[in-house]
Amino acid sequence: MTTSSRKFSFQLKQYIPVFDWGRTYTKHTLTNDLVAAVIVTIMLIPQSLAYALLAGLPPQMGIYASILPIILYAIFGTSRALAVGPVAIVSLMTAAAVGNIAEPGSPDYILAALTLAFLSGVFLTLLGLFRLGFLANFLSHPVIAGFITATGMIIAASQLKNILGIDASGHNLLELLTSLVSHLGDTNFITLIIGVTSVAFLFWVRKGLQPLLQKFGLKKRSAGIIAKTGPIFAVAVTTLLAWGFDLESHGVSLVGEVPRGLPPLTMPSFSLDMWNSLIGSAVLLSVIGFVESVSVAQTLAAKKRQRINPDQELIGLGAANIGAAFTGGYPVTGGFARSVVNFDAGADTPAAGAYTAVGLAIASLTITPLIAYLPTATLAATIIVAVLSLVDFSILKKSWNYSRADFIAVTATMLITLGAGVEYGVLSGVVLSILIHLYKTSKPHTAIVGQVPGTEHYRNVLRHNVITHKEIVTIRIDESLYFANARFLEDRIYDLVADHPELKHVVLMCSAVNEIDFSAFESLEAIAERLKDLDVTFNLSEVKGPVMDRLNQTGFAEHLNGTIFLSQHQAITSLKTTFKPDA
C-alpha cells in the first residue's frame, strides 16, 4: 500500500469509524449486537412515544427520531455502546424552543421541530469538523448537575397533568404548579389510578424486580436487563385495560391513532425568520445534548478500555440530527438509560444501534395500531420515573463542602432553571461556568516558598518548616498568567517588596505556569522596571520550555535586571550571600 493510500485509509477510518470496527466484525459480534438490539428496541418503543409527547409532538415522531439517526450515528460515531434517540432533557428543550413559535401539535410546530433538529445537526457537525469539542468544557460539571436536577423536576411536574387527567401548562416550575392546583377539581380518578399504579410499578421494577428474578434462578445480568425493560409490561397491561373496558369513554386520555409506516421524507424550513428564532436554542440544545452524550460514551468506553473521539462524536451526533430533520424526527442525542441497557445487553459495536433501528422500523409497520389504546398516563409515568433518577440534590451538599463558588453556581443555575425556564437555565449555566473560571484564575493561589532542610525541594512557608533568607523572596504562582490575573500578580509582588525592606532579590517560581499571554508579559516587564528602580532584581525560575520560547522571541531576558534560572535551587544557590538564614 502506498503512502498516499495509507493516509487516505487512515482519514477514512477517522471520519467514518465503521470502516475501522467493521473490518473485524464476526459472527460472535453479530450475535451479541442482535441480542442487545432486541432488548433496546423493546425499551425504546414506550420511551420514544413518551418523549415525543413531552416535546409536544405526535407520538410517532419519537419512533421516527429513533430510526435513521441511530443508523447515521452507527456509521459516524465512535462509541460502541451509545444509543442515540430522543431523551427527556432535549425533548423539554425542544418544547421550550418551538413553543415560542407555534401551537403544540400544529403543522408549524412540527416544521419548527424539524428545523431545530437540522440547525442542531449542522452546528454539531461544524464543531466536529473544526475540532471545537473543547467548547463544551465551558459548562462545569456542578453547573450541569444543577441544571439536570432542576430540569428533571420541571419534566416530572409537567407530566402530573397526564397522571391526574387534567389540563395544565407552564414554562417553569411555579407556573406548572399553579396551573395544576387550579385544575385539581377536574381530576379524572380512573386516569389517576392508572398513573399512580404505573408509577409505583415502574419504581418497584427498578428496585425490586431484579432481586425477585434472581430468587427464581435467573443470573444477575439477565435479571437486570429484564428489569430495565419493565416499562413495556406497564404499556401492555394498561393498553389492554383501556381497550377491554373502553376507558376512553370514561374520560381517560389515550395516545390515539398512530400512522403505520416507515419514517416519511420531510424537509426542514429554510426561512431566515425561523432560523433566527431557533438558532440560539439550537446552539444551547446542541451543547447540552453533546455534554450528556459524551459523558455517557466516555463512561461506557472506559469500562471496556476503549476510547472515543469527542470531535468525531460531534460529527456522529450532527449527522443523526440532520437525519432526524429529513425523516420526520426531532433533536436527538445519546441517552443514559438506553445506552446502559445496550452496554449491559452485550453490544459490541455501533451496529447494535443499526439493528435497533431495523427493529423500530418493523414496530412502526406492525404494532402502531395497538398504540392507539395506550393511556397517556402510562407514558407520563414512564417519563416521571426516568427523569427522577436524574434529580440529585446531593450536589448541593458536595459543592458546599468543596467550594462555595461552585455551590453558588449550582444553586443559581437550579433556581433560574426552575423559576425562569430551561433556556434561561442553560444560558445562566454557561455564563456562571465562565465567571467561576475567571474568578478562580483572576486571583490564583500564590505561596512564599522556602527550602526544605537537607533537600533541593521548595515548599510553602505556611505549611512546612523551611529555610528562608531576608534578602530573597520566592513567590510561586499556581496558575498560568493571562489578562485576568496579570494585575493581581503585580500587586502581590509590590506588596511583598513593601513588606520586606531588606529585600534584594525577588524570584518568581513558574513551575505551574503553562502559558503567559501578552497582557501578562507586559506586566512582567512592568514588574522588572519597577523593581529595577527600587534596586531589587527580578528573577524567574523553572520556566517551562514553550513559555521560555515565547519569552525568548521578545528579548525579555536581555532587558531583565535579573536571571532566568533552570531550577529554584539553582536560583537560591546563585543569589544567596553569607548572611545567616532565618529559622
Residue (of 85, 81, 58) closest to 70 by Cα position = 85
pLDDT of residue 11: 54
Read off the pLDDT of each residue in 550-558 and give the average, rounded to a whole number: 89
Output the average pLDDT for the chain. Answer: 89
How is residue 544 annotated by DSSP? Answer: -
d(CA 79, CA 83): 9
Read off the pLDDT of each residue in 310-319 and give the average, rounded to a whole number: 93
pLDDT of residue 160: 95
Tens-digit pLDDT profile for residues 452-472: 999 999 999 999 999 999 899
d(CA 524, CA 564): 13
Q: Residue 1 pLDDT > 70, yes or no?
A: no
pLDDT of residue 140: 76
Amino acid at 205: V
Instruction: Give the count of alpha carbons within 13 A of 404, CB side only.
Output: 1
From 317-321, 339-343, 473-477, the region with the lowest mean pLDDT: 339-343
Residue (of 125, 35, 49) closest to 319 by Cα position = 125
Q: How confident is the model at residue 387 (pLDDT cuts 50, 70, 90)?
A: confident
How is residue 349 annotated by DSSP? Answer: S
Where on the phi/psi map is residue 391: left (φ > 0), alpha (ψ -120 to 50), or beta? Answer: beta
d(CA 570, CA 562): 13
**Rg, the chain, Cα only:** 30
pLDDT of residue 4: 54
C-alpha distance across the termini of the chain, in Å: 70
Contact 63, 393 (CB under 8 A): no
* Dihedral (CA of 559, 562, 563, 567) sign: negative
d(CA 489, CA 538): 13
Read off the pLDDT of each residue in 158-162 and give the average, rounded to a whole number: 94
pLDDT of residue 5: 52
* Dihedral (CA of 267, 270, 273, 275) sign: positive
Tens-digit pLDDT profile for residues 61-103: 999 999 999 999 999 998 888 999 999 999 999 999 999 899 9
More confident residue, 380 or 421: 380
Tens-digit pLDDT profile for residues 470-503: 899 999 999 999 999 999 999 999 999 999 999 9
Question: 446-575, which class in CATH?
Answer: alpha beta
More confident residue, 564 or 576: 564
Pure H helices in 443-517: 486-499
Q: Is 451 helix (H, G, I), strand (E, B) or coil?
A: strand
Q: How confident is the model at residue 277 (pLDDT cuts 50, 70, 90)?
A: very high
466 φ/ψ angles, rounded to the nearest 5 degrees: -130, 165
For residue 553, how far is the Cα from the chain centroid? 40
d(CA 89, CA 97): 12
Q: Under 8 Å CB-to-CB from 257, ≥6 apart: which residues?
A: 369, 372
C-alpha cell at 27: 459472527
Tens-digit pLDDT profile for residues 435-449: 888 888 899 999 999
pLDDT of residue 336: 81
Antiparallel, parallel or unpaired: β 458-460 and 472-477: unpaired
Q: How many CB atoms lie within 10 A of CB 78?
A: 23
Q: Which helix (H) or strand (E) is 178 found in, with range? A: helix 173-182
C-alpha cell at 67: 430510526
C-alpha cell at 168: 395544565
- Helices and strands, number each (H, E), in the chain: 27, 8
Percent of the chain whose pLDDT exceeds 90:
57
**How does DSSP assign 138-171, residue by residue?**
GS-HHHHHHHHHHHHHHHHHHHHHHHHT-----S
Contact 171, 92 (CB under 8 A): no
From 336-340, 414-418, 553-557, the region with the lowest mean pLDDT: 336-340
Q: How confident is the model at residue 15 (pLDDT cuts 50, 70, 90)?
A: low
pLDDT of residue 243: 94
pLDDT of residue 57: 95
Helix, strand, coil in percent for the chain, rounding step 5: 65, 5, 30
C-alpha cell at 502: 531588606
pLDDT of residue 581: 52
Tens-digit pLDDT profile for residues 202-239: 999 888 888 888 888 888 877 877 777 778 889 999 99
Q: Residue 368 pLDDT > 90, yes or no?
A: no
Q: Residue 423 pLDDT > 50, yes or no?
A: yes
Question: Domain extents for the chain?
Answer: 3-434, 446-575
Distances (CA, A) of 82 to 107, 224, 343, 474, 567: 32, 18, 8, 51, 47
